[in-house]
Amino acid sequence: MIVVRVFASMKRTFAQCALIAQCYYVAGEWDFVLVLNVRNMDQYTELTRELFFSNNNVKRFKTLVSMSSVKVVSGVPVDVVEE
């Protein structure tokens, strides 16, 4: 039950952070994928200190910096059944 509470707490923290544009709870090597909107690397560094370095439940994190957007789709196609 402790793990469930930890994940619930992390989800609440991420949901309340204005600099996190998207948060996904995922399966695999990582538990969460976050998309951040920060102005510069100083703001990024401060945010990682707040969210990750000060949290004993975060063991490691990995940063990937987007160089450009190739394709962004926010909707999910849904087939409409006509009667």
The answer to whether position 81 is within a domain reads: no
The answer to whether position 28 is within a domain reads: yes
pLDDT at position 55 is: 87
Instruction: Tell me the pLDDT of the chain (83 aa) as tens digits.
Output: 778 888 899 999 999 999 999 999 999 999 999 999 999 999 999 999 999 998 888 899 999 998 998 998 888 878 777 76
pLDDT at position 26 is: 94
Task: Note the pTM of the prediction, 2 decimals.
Answer: 0.77
Secondary structure (3-state) at 46? helix
The answer to whether position 42 is within a domain reads: yes
The answer to whether position 60 is within a domain reads: no
The answer to whether position 45 is within a domain reads: yes
The answer to whether position 37 is within a domain reads: yes
State which residues form the domain around 46.
2-53
d(CA 47, CA 10): 14
Number of domains in the chain: 1
d(CA 48, CA 54): 9
The answer to whether position 62 is within a domain reads: no
pLDDT at position 4 is: 86
Backbone torsions φ then ψ of 27, nearest 5 degrees: -100, 155
